Amino acid sequence: MSARGEGDPFGDWFGRMAEMVGGDRWRPAADVYETEKAIVVRLELAGVAGADVQVSIDGDLLRIRGMRQPRVDREAQRLHQMEIASGPFERTLRIGIAFERGGVSAQLEDGFLRVTLPKRSTRRIDVEGAKADSERNPAR
């Protein structure tokens, strides 16, 4: 019988955990969205302390690593259900929009990590010696 088979009380639990856990790491859910001025990445990190989170940038890759410590009540004598993943986690996201690396910020609040990557502004570069179209092509 498969791990998700009928009549297996642990089948659904293992199936859901397999989706969140990859090898020895779990994978927090992430939202990535764009505002007028920034790209924002938000990760669900309930129970993770800010000191246990590391954010780094390598080229266009945003890497977020950390550790959620297991929390089991000391008075618990027997576990009946345990769905909250603990241990190390890592998410690597490719950011496809140019951003200012020096302006990246991160805040952990209410169980969510918010990483803000300010968009790189584009600027027009004037070419010296170029004449305006009206000067090059006078009206006939």
Residues 12-24 have pLDDT tens digits of 555 555 445 445 6
Kindly list the distances between the CA atom of residue 16 and the CA atoms of 19, 20, 42, 69, 83, in Å, as whole numbers in the listed order.
5, 7, 21, 20, 8
- pLDDT for the residue numbered 2: 41
CA distances from 65 to 62, 84, 87, 126 (A): 10, 17, 11, 43
**Residue 20: how many CA atoms within 13 Å on its side-chain side?**
19
Per-residue pLDDT at 105: 97
- pLDDT tens column, 74-97: 888 888 888 888 899 999 999 999
Domains of the chain: 25-69+85-122 (2.60.40.790)
pTM recorded for the entire structure: 0.69
Instruction: Determine the Cα–Cα distance for residues 60 and 70; give it in Å rounded to an integer.
Output: 32
